[in-house]
Structure 1
Amino acid sequence: MRNKIIGLVLLFALAAVLSACGNSKFKADYNLELPDFDHVNQRGEKVSLESLKGKPWIGMYIFTNCTSICPPMSFNMTQVQEKLKKKGVEDYNIVAFSVDPDVDKPEVLADYLKKYNVPDQSKWNLLTGYSQKYIEQFAVKSTKIIVRNDPNSDQVVHGNQFFLVDKDGVIVKMYSGFAENPEDVPIDTIASDIETYIDENL
């Protein structure tokens, strides 16, 4: 009888473990595998897809001369990081691809980042070191986000999305990084998704 009771207890324990494994709170909405890249950040450091693997990261497209959505997008990203800081979340990176690489040299990107109250600059990688044509093709083919140079001005048309990349280099979520009403940017959701992904996968 005692052995039967022990067996039942073990069976229930195993069922509970299997149930927990099957009830993941993080649900991927996308499965876009990114191609290899190797660029330079605002500190002059090499950053590649391979070097980012092992932790999730949240990406976006910006440029320093932007007169429209880039400043609020950059501010919104600092707010996401502030939420993560309050949650005690550490294992992530932030990656911003410049869509105006001829202008946005590493030192220009570094100066741009100083304009914002960034909780932890070490997690930010503002990337450059490629051609305009490259980033336009990379954005559309790899992340399904439009980047297009405006021949009639010094501005670059680009999408306002934030995209969450998992530890293996796959885009799994996308969010609005800009909205006319700032409250419509899902800052809490983004931070919670990153926290949940880390808790379940790292």
Structure 2
Amino acid sequence: MKRVFFLLLSVMVLSACSREEKKVENDFPLHMKVGNFEGINQDGETFSFSKLKGKVWVADFMFTNCDTVCSPMTANMAELQRQLADEDVDAQLVSFSIDPENDQPGVLKEYASGVGADFSNWDLVTGYKQEFIESFANKSFMAAAAKMEGSNQFVHSTSFYLVDEKGIVVQKYEGVSEPPYEQIVNDIKSIQ
């Protein structure tokens, strides 16, 4: 009897120890692998998928001539950046322009500067072909991105996307109207 008791006690202690050491996996609803990309950022520097290797990042799609959702989305991304800084959470922010012909580096820099962007961890990316960004958004993020026929406007996703260190999109959030900043910050903390 004594032997059975010690055996059970040992099993409980060992299983408790192994639970504490094992990293808890999150139950995120998405699992989409981001494909390779290469462009230039707001400073005219090469920016590619390889620069994000090993980093947690939040992405969105926007364009500077947008007459609807892009201004609030960009302001909301700036607010997310401030909240991440307040919480001392290290994450990269990446805004992909879906209008690379118009959105040259200087245009992107001026646009984001208008909302107080800190470019130390926020890159606005352009410098690829229109066909590429439309396909990239669709395949990597399952997001729409297309020029509206007969217009200078584009159809695109209004979500913020959380991407883990392995380049997997794990979650998406409302980006225009009342983004869940606290949830985004906590989700980033949980996967770092």
Per the normalisation by structure 2, the TM-score is 0.89
Shift of 1:54: 0.8
- Check conservation: 1:58, 1:163, Cα contact below 8 A: yes
- Check conservation: 1:84, 1:195, Cα contact below 8 A: no
The question of 1:104 aligning with 2:128 is answered no
Residue 16 to residue 103, structure 1, CA distance change in 2 (3 Å): same
- Specify the code of the residue in structure 1 equivalent to 2:43: R
Aligned residue for 2:115, secondary structure, equals coil
Aligned residue for 2:15, secondary structure, equals helix
- Check conservation: 2:38, 2:128, Cα contact below 8 A: no
Q: How does 1:25-104 map to 2 (within 5 A)?
A: 26-90=26-90, 92-104=91-103
- Check conservation: 1:101, 1:129, Cα contact below 8 A: yes
Residue 19 to residue 64, structure 1, CA distance change in 2 (3 Å): same
- Specify the code of the residue in structure 2 equivalent to 1:64: T
Aligned residue for 1:121, secondary structure, equals coil
Gaps of 5+ in 2: 1-6
Aligned Cα root-mean-square deviation (Å): 2.2
The question of 1:189 aligning with 2:183 is answered yes
In 1, Cα distance between the equivalents of 2:126 and 2:112? 14
Shift of 1:16: 3.1
- Check conservation: 1:164, 1:173, Cα contact below 8 A: yes
In 1, Cα distance between the equivalents of 2:13 and 2:101? 59
In 1, Cα distance between the equivalents of 2:56 and 2:13? 31
- Check conservation: 2:59, 2:96, Cα contact below 8 A: yes
Shift of 1:77: 1.1
Per the normalisation by structure 1, the TM-score is 0.84
Shift of 1:15: 3.0
- Specify the code of the residue in structure 2 equivalent to 1:86: D
Shift of 1:157: 1.1
Deviations, residues 26-66 of structure 1 (Å, cap 9, x unaligned)? 33221111111111110111111111011110000000111
In 2, Cα distance between the equivalents of 1:167 and 1:150? 34
Structure 2 residue corresponding to 1:178, chosen from 158, 176, 179: 176
Counterpart of 2:122 in structure 1 is 124
Deviations, residues 126-145 of structure 1 (Å, cap 9, x unaligned)? 01011111111111122100
Counterpart of 1:4 in structure 2 is none
- Specify the code of the residue in structure 1 equivalent to 2:61: Y
Shift of 1:14: 4.1
Deviations, residues 62-118 of structure 1 (Å, cap 9, x unaligned)? 00111111111111111212221111112x210111000000011111111110123
Aligned residue for 1:116, secondary structure, equals coil
- Specify the code of the residue in structure 1 equivalent to 2:181: I
Residue 82 to residue 8, structure 1, CA distance change in 2 (3 Å): farther
Percent sequence identity over matched residues?
A: 35
- Specify the code of the residue in structure 2 equivalent to 1:146: A
Aligned residue for 2:27, secondary structure, equals coil
Number of aligned residues:
188
In 1, Cα distance between the equivalents of 2:72 and 2:17? 43
